[in-house]
């Protein structure tokens, strides 16, 4: 009888812990999704598919892997000039989002890296901070 | 517990019923071609056999002339006897335009093989969106210029025709990209009467637009299909 209650208690404890971490995790996930919908989906679409040869896809984009080191700066400062994504040329220009914090950029990037069928490694806030440090001169313009 | 189950069942039933009702309604709508005439009406007096008769003149899009991505002139004659969908955008728009264009592509694909339907997109930033810029934009969208015209022209003419389509568009430095504009898709019939205004960023409204277009088309094609069977 006693053992049973103990197991039950442990079980409840683990369940509570799980829900808590899930909450915490999905909060961040939610912020990433919310920011994506607010700032990115207009162009890259809700499913990350992009728009023909005008707007590059984020879903299954080789660019996310090949240019991982530049992604935080692309979001903060935008991008112009010709780029190649999955073998196709794009040259339309993306505006920057200078008001986004490094935490917000991290959440957006992690949303992109783990959705739309993508399964790329996540970003830590330190990694994003390091990337942004490299393009900080663009902020002073 | 039992009660909970019952009420869930009940709400599910209600939901199903209302969905059915809604569908029946909207289907009836698109079959009977009674799309409204939008815009201001004018009463016109006219004499027939010595009797005064009053006609209602519906709001009509005036004559226009713009230039498309092939440097061809696009006028009211180009859309004569066509049903067309029109919108206002600019190529460097940081907000809703790509979404509008992806929805317009759905209309393009739905009526790609029907020459009675055309698409007409006006730039509201003619200074930047030259013929060459529009050409590149259309090429990257991979669409055919006979079906989908991207036009530019005098800024004043574009802004005043937008008013005729009942679409808001103007310059505003405060706005992202420098312009305010609505994401409206305007459905225009063969006589240049406005028959519907839809939110071009909302897939559900664009679904409705795609269902409404056939209501404006002559039924000829359907008959032919029936004859074949």
- DSSP letters, A62-105, are THHHHTGGGHHHHHHH-B-S-EEETTEEE-S-B---TT--HHHH
Confidence of residue B21 (pLDDT cuts 50, 70, 90): very low
pLDDT of residue B24: 37
- Of chain A residues 46-105, which have a CB less than 8 A from chain B? 51-55, 92-93, 95
Q: Report which of residues B55 and B187 the model is more confident about.
A: B187
Over range A118-127, report the average pLDDT: 97
> Which segment, A11-20, B8-17, B53-62, is predicted with the most confidence on average?
B53-62
> By mean pLDDT, which of A83-87, A128-132, B218-222, B225-229 is the weakest?
B225-229
Residue partners of A132: CB distance under 8 A and separation at least 6: A72, A73, A76, A102, A105
Over range A105-110, report the average pLDDT: 98
Over range A26-34, report the average pLDDT: 82
CA distance A61 to chain B (A): 18
Q: Report which of residues A1 and B177 the model is more confident about.
A: B177
- Give Cα separations from B94 to A40, A79, B97 (angstroms): 10, 13, 7
Q: Within 10 Å of residue B91's Cβ, how many Cβ atoms?
A: 21
* ipTM score for this prediction: 0.75
- Whether A54 sits inside 8 A of B94 (CB atoms) is no
CB B215 within 8 A of CB B31: yes
Q: Give the whole-number percent of chain B exceeding pLDDT 90.
A: 63
3-state secondary structure of B163: helix
pTM of this prediction exceeds 0.90: no
Q: In terms of CA atoms, which chain B residue is nearest residue A56?
A: B140
Binding residues of B for Cu cation are: 93, 97, 181
| pLDDT for residue B39 is more than 80 | yes
Of A42, A43, A52, the CB nearest to B141: A52
Query: Which tens digits make up the pLDDT trace of B89-138?
Result: 999 988 889 999 999 999 999 999 999 999 999 999 999 999 999 999 99
| pLDDT for residue B224 is more than 60 | no
Over range B136-149, report the average pLDDT: 95
Of A51, A93, A95, the CB nearest to B101: A51
**Domain A29-140, CATH homologous superfamily name and number:** Cytochrome c-like domain (1.10.760.10)
Confidence of residue B35 (pLDDT cuts 50, 70, 90): very high
Q: Within 10 Å of residue B125's Cβ, how many Cβ atoms?
A: 21
Query: Which tens digits make up the pLDDT trace of A75-95?
Result: 999 999 999 999 999 999 999
**Bridge partners, B11 (sequence order):** none
Q: Which fold has domain B61-216?
A: Glutaredoxin (3.40.30)
Confidence of residue B56 (pLDDT cuts 50, 70, 90): confident
Residues in chain A closer than 8 A to B141 (CB atoms)? 51-54
pLDDT of residue B8: 46
- Nearest to residue B138, comparing CAs of B62, B72, B46, B193? B72
Of B95, B96, B140, the CB nearest to A54: B140
pLDDT of residue A7: 58
- Whether A52 sits inside 8 A of B94 (CB atoms) is no
CB A48 within 8 A of CB A116: yes
Residues in chain B closer than 8 A to A95 (CB atoms)? 94, 176
> By mean pLDDT, which of A118-122, B22-26, B173-177 is the weakest?
B22-26
What's chain B's average pLDDT? Answer: 84
| pLDDT for residue B181 is more than 60 | yes
Over range B194-223, report the average pLDDT: 90
């Amino acid at each position: 009888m006693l053992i049973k209650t103990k197991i039950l208690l442990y079980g409840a404890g683990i369940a509570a812990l799980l829900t808590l971490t899930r909450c915490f995790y999905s909060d961040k996930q939610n912020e990433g999704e919310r920011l994506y919908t607010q700032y990115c989906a207009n162009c890259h679409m809700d499913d990350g598919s992009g728009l023909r040869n005008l707007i590059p896809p984020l879903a299954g984009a080789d660019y996310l892997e090949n240019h991982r080191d530049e992604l935080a700066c692309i979001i903060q400062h935008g991008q112009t000039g010709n780029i190649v994504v999955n073998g196709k040329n794009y040259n339309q220009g993306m505006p920057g989002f200078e008001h986004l914090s490094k935490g917000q950029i991290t959440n957006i990037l992690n949303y992109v890296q783990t959705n739309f069928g993508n399964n790329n490694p996540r970003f830590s806030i330190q990694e994003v901070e390091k990337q942004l440090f490299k393009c900080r001169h663009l902020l002073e313009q | 517990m039992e009660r909970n189950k019952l009420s869930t069942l009940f709400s599910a039933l209600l939901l199903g019923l209302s969905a059915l009702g809604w569908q029946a309604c909207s289907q009836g709508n698109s079959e009977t071609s009674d799309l409204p005439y939008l815009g201001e009406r004018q009463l016109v007096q006219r004499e027939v056999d010595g009797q005064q008769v009053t006609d209602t003149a519906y709001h009509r899009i005036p004559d226009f002339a713009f230039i498309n991505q092939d440097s061809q002139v696009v006028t009211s004659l180009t859309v004569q006897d066509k049903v067309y969908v029109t919108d206002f955008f600019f190529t460097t728009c940081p907000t809703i335009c790509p979404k509008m264009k992806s929805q317009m592509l759905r209309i393009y694909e739905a009526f790609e093989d029907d020459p009675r339907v055309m698409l007409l997109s006006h730039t509201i930033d003619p200074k930047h969106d030259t013929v060459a810029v529009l050409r590149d934009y259309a090429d990257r969208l991979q669409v055919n210029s006979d079906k989908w015209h991207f036009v530019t022209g005098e800024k004043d003419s574009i802004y005043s025709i937008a008013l005729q389509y009942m679409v808001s568009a103007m310059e505003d430095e405060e706005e992202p990209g420098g312009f305010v504009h609505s994401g409206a898709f305007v459905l225009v019939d063969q006589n240049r009467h406005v028959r519907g205004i839809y939110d071009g960023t909302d897939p559900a409204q664009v679904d409705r637009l795609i269902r409404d277009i056939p209501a404006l088309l002559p039924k000829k094609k359907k008959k032919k299909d029936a004859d074949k069977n």
